Structure formats: structure tokens, C-alpha cells
Amino acid sequence: MALEEYKKEFIEFMIDCEVLRFGDFVTKSGRRTPFFVNTGFYRTGTQLNRLGEYYAKAIQDAFGFDFDILFGPAYKGIPLAVATTMAISEYYDTDIRYCSNRKEIKDHGDKGILLGSPIRDHDRVVIIEDVTTAGTSIGETLPIIRAQGDVDVLGLVVSVDRMERGTGNKSALKEIEENYGLKTTAIVTMKEVVEHLYNRTYHGRVVIDDSLKRAIDAYYEQYGAE
């Protein structure tokens, strides 16, 4: 099945923004990896505008827009939620509220743990994150959302599914689906990234050559999900 055009564009967009890099890295979970995704490298208004469009498309495909709040966990999830709700408004003429949490509760002014829209009873919520490797952050995020009232958390959208094991043999996103009853989706998977870039010239160079492909394959032999 051919890769959708917006997915190809997004993969190349990540390279242009230096968000997707190849080399020798160590993930937050301590795994040595030949590729790394860091959404902290989206740094300009133009980049965030485009990123919001890609997230909006992925959300439309997986969830539609029949929900109330897009929740972005602090800190990286805050600009993701803002950019994506703006894109949904601009390109799909739908007003979704955004909400994020603070790491520290304010002791003055607007006290509380939330930024943006309050979460009310019966709100339907989709969570937006950058990349889920081991699935630990969702366990911190869900209690914050559910403490706000009787809400329905529909699912989680990330930019890249690394397609590696979480705490067991299944992928982190699959574990989230099974453990928390959430639907999960990603703009692209690493399988799609490799499929699009392997032995393909982009900006005058082959991004994933045979040597890098072997390193990626070896990584997935060790850490790949079932």
C-alpha cells in the first residue's frame, strides 16, 4: 500500500527541521538507538503551523473532530495542543478547546494546575504528545485529566510511533490501548519512515543507506515490538 502524500511530506519536514536525526543516541528509557526524534527542534511559527496541520490530519483520520478538548501534557505538549487546535480551526472550521497542565501549581492569580480551557464533566478529550517510547507519560497524564471531572478520554495521538517494546513485548502504543482502553494513532510510524527514506536521495544525499538500515534492523531485533 502506497504511503499517503502527507506522510511523505511529514517525514521530509522532520528532516528539514532536524527533528528526525540518525546517528548514535540514547533514549530517555536508556536504549541506544540509531535514530532520534526531538520535537523540541520545531522552533519557528512557520514550522509549528505546518506541524499543527499534520497533527490535525492524523486526528481527523483516527478520531474525526467530534470531541471537545485536545490536551497537551507539559511541557512539549503545550505548543503541540495550541498549534493543532489552531490548524483544526483554520483548515476544518471546527473549534476544539485546548488544555495543558502546569508542572507546578501557581500560588497567585489563576491558581490551579491547568492552562487553557477548564475540563468539565462529560467533556471528550484527546491527548496529544510528541513521541511515546516506553509509554510512561500517559500514566502521569490520565490522572490529571480524570481528576477534573467525569470525562471521556478517547485516545492519544503522537507524531511518530517508534514501534518498539514498552514494558513488555508489545509496542508502547499497543500497551496504552490495552492498559488504559484508549485508541492510539501516529502521524507516521518508523516503518513508514524507513520505507520512504531507504536508498532514496533527499537534498542530494541518501538519508538511510544500507549501513544505517542494518543498524535500524539490529535495533528492532533487540527492541522491536511483537
Convert the pLDDT of each residue in 190-213 to its tens digit.
Answer: 999 999 999 999 999 999 999 999
Q: What is the pLDDT at residue 150?
A: 95
**Alpha carbon of 182 to those of 94, 115, 126, 155: distances in Å?**
23, 23, 9, 5
Q: What is the pLDDT at residue 109?
A: 46
What mean pLDDT is reported for the chain? 91
**Alpha carbon of 64 to those of 82, 92, 108: distances in Å?**
18, 10, 38
pLDDT grade, residue 35 (50/70/90)? very high
Q: What is the pLDDT at residue 139?
A: 85
Q: Is the pLDDT confidence value at 3 over 70?
A: yes
Give tens-digit pLDDT for 93-143. 999 999 999 876 655 545 578 999 999 999 999 999 998 755 678 888 999
Other Cβ atoms within 10 Å of 197 Cβ, number: 22
Contacts (Cβ under 8 Å, ≥6 apart) of 185: 58, 59, 61, 62, 63, 155, 156, 157, 158
Identify the residue whose cell numbers are 489563576: 110
- Out of 7, 76, 106, 203, the active site residue is 106
- Out of 108, 111, 122, 203, the active site residue is 108
108 flagged as catalytic: yes
- Phi and psi torsions of 108, nearest 5°: -150, 165
Q: Is the pLDDT confidence value at 52 over 80?
A: yes
pLDDT grade, residue 165 (50/70/90)? confident
Whether the full predicted model's pTM is greater than 0.95, yes or no, is no
122 flagged as catalytic: no
What is the percent of the chain where pLDDT is above 70? 94
Secondary structure of residue 78 in the 3-state scheme: helix
